[in-house]
Amino acid sequence: MFDYHWIDGMDINGEAPVEEPARQYYFMKKCKQWAAGEERRLGRKLTLSMQTMGCQMNARDSEKLEAILSYIGYEAVDEPAADFVLYNTCTVRENANLKVYGRLGYMKNQKKKHPHMKIAMCGCMMQEPGVVEKIKKSYPHVDMIFGTHNVYKLAEILHTHLQSERMIIDVWQEAGGIVEDLPSKRKYFFKAGVNIMYGCNNFCSYCIVPYVRGRERSRRPEEILQEIRGLAADGVIEIMLLGQNVNSYGKTLEGNMSFAQLLREVEKIDGIKRIRFMTSHPKDLSGELIDAMAESSKICTHLHLPLQSGSTKILKDMNRKYTKEDYVSLVERIRERMPEISLTTDLIVGFPGETEEDFQETLDVVRRVRYDSVYSFIYSKRTGTPAAAMNNQVPEEVTGDRFQRLLHTIQEISKEITDGKVGQEADVLMEEINSHDSSLITGRLSSNVVVHCKAAPDCIGTICRVRLTESRGFYFMGEII
Ligand code: SAH
Ligand code: SF4
Ligand code: F3S
């Protein structure tokens, strides 16, 4: 889909161009020349180990990073150590950070054994000044550090490092313009994520994302639609539109295209059979979007609608801008138009000041809405966010106990929902060979629920009619009809 002749045709004898993306093409070609020399020196292909943490945004960035490295000459391997090791980090909760430091410690010895190894760190964690300071001090074996706003510059950063052989730190506090027309390497040939916007303006009081991903910026609709048409021409049948709050898509653009209007345009693209999107903030979910979903034959029957807490008081302290009643009545409106829709959500347990009564309000919404599945998180204090400064933090034992009770309720409901669907027929997009049992293919229903079927690998990438034969709580076993 991406035409690599653009890069191969660059003249790299003179100065680097100033404009993007030509500048990056220049550095990609320069690095490729260097890598070819390395390959001859080592007598083998160069290897790449890429570890991506966090959400779909990082997953999508990693596809762009991998394409750059793959053009340069690196081949991805499934091992922790390689000629190029890249960590694309997440910092939404504290435990993600601890894991990264653990891995960096391990890499210290690896690099002693293989001094030519390059170690690069990027992603949300690198946007925190304290983190970069710590890496500089305690992990000097890291070669490159960059952030979330300049992933497209990887080749230039590598080139600068090769010139100086020093640790290169290039983290921007603010986003520059959106750079289009760079290559990307998809994990699946039949489905793809497409960024429709970057950043977030909501500043939920617990959340670090607005600080590490910057202000909300929407991509122009023509660029998005052109990308999706290209993907469809390349055999992609499922598209996931990505943004921290897709419901406010278009607000930063001239022309005022809404998210619902964008969806209607995506719907028109031949070849695309399934459309998904993440994430919808309840405060911005419009009637127009409900109509677009209800009238569509391609938008999946699934909506991820993060609740975070069922207590109006906690929601106010979280700066979510809706009440428990607003949320429940929104769900009622959605279900009136789409009775079959599968709802999923995110919940935080133990936000500062959460009492047992507040927690009961969350359980109450969970019981009333009956989610197909729930991502529940224990509140994690993020330095710099308003909630971290609140002086009524909930003790760990209390949070742990609530978390267990919440899980129990969620599991019971999910099981009831899946049990009730056994025997039904449904369309399943067959996605990959099951990692535990290679005679099974794992796929997804339109509702996003997983189904495992006995099938041959050549069905991967197609939509098959399946009978759901058995419920296993969160997922199904099925038979191709
Ligand atoms: N933009 C998305 C969510 C991005 S972060 C949205 O608004 O829904 C994904 C989830 O991580 C959030 O929905 C929230 O449930 C959780 N999360 C964010 N910050 C957290 C924190 N400090 N502690 C625990 N969970 C958190
Ligand atoms: Fe974080 Fe809230 Fe933005 Fe989601 S909407 S990324 S939870 S600040
Ligand atoms: Fe994590 Fe960054 Fe996503 S903090 S959840 S990877 S936007």
**Residue 351 and residue 60 in contact, taking contact as beta carbons nearer than 8 Å:** no
Question: What is the rounded average pLDDT of the residues 435-456?
Answer: 96
**pLDDT of 1 above 80:** no
Q: Would you state the structure tokens that stand for residue 418, as one six-digit string?
A: 């899946």
Q: Is the dihedral of CA 255, 260, 261, 262 positive or negative?
A: positive
Report the alpha-carbon distance of residue 196 to residue 246 in Å, rounded.
8
> Which residues are near ligand 1 (CB < 6 Å)?
92-93, 206-207, 209, 244-245, 279, 281, 306, 308, 346, 348, 377, 379-380, 382
Residue type, 258: S
200 close to ligand 2 (CB < 6 Angstrom)? yes
Look at the block and give the residue holding tokens 């028109």.
268
Select from 166, 110, 121, 114 the least CA-distant residue to 147: 121
Distance (Å, rounded) from C-alpha 266 to C-alpha 261?
A: 9
The average pLDDT across 27-45 equals: 97
Q: Could you tell me the distance, in angstroms and rounded to a whole number, from the CA of residue 202 to the centre of ligand 3? A: 15
Which residue has the CA at smallest separation from atom 7 of ligand 3? 209
Residues with CB under 6 A from ligand 3: 54-55, 57-58, 90-92, 124, 209, 212-213
Ligand 2 centre from 417 Cα, in Å?
29
Token pair of 133, please? 């300071």
pLDDT at 58: 96
pLDDT at 220 over 80: yes
Of 390, 204, 396, the C-alpha closest to 309 is 204
Per-residue buried b or exposed e for 152-186, using 16+ beta carbons within 10 Å of the residue's own CB: bbbbbbbbebeeeeebbbbbeeebeeebebbbbbb
Cβ(245) to ligand 2 under 6 A?
A: yes
Which one-letter amino acid corresponds to residue 159? H
- Given pLDDT bands bounded at 50, 70 and 90, which one contains residue 182? confident
pLDDT tens figures, 352-378: 999 999 999 999 999 999 999 999 999
Determine which residue's CA is closest to atom 13 belonging to ligand 1: 346
Are 87 and 100 a contacting pair, CB within 8 Å? yes
Residue 177 has pLDDT above 90, yes or no: no
Element (H, E) at 479: strand 476-480
C-alpha distance from residue 346 to each of 127, 162, 197, 212, 375 (Å): 24, 43, 20, 20, 5
Q: Give the percent of the chain with pLDDT over 70.
A: 100
Six token digits for residue 80: 């922790």
246 lines ligand 2 (CB under 6 A): no
Position 179 scores a pLDDT of: 87
Q: pLDDT (tens digit, 9 = 90+) per residue, 162-176?
A: 999 899 999 999 888
| Contact yes or no for 387/381 (Cβ under 8 A) | yes
pLDDT band of 331, cuts 50, 70, 90: very high
Alpha-carbon span 142 to 112, nearest angstrom: 12
Q: Is the pLDDT score of 47 beyond 90?
A: yes
208 contacts: CB under 8 Å, gap ≥ 6: 91, 92, 124, 128, 382, 384, 385
Ligand 2: distance of its center to the CA of 246 in Å?
A: 11
CB atoms within 10 A of CB 267: 15
Average pLDDT over residues 166-188: 90
What is this structure's pTM?
0.94
Task: Give residue 129's pLDDT.
Answer: 86
Note the pLDDT of residue 465: 98
Which residues have CB under 8 Å from 295's CB, separation 6+? none
Q: At residue 64, does pLDDT exceed 90? A: yes
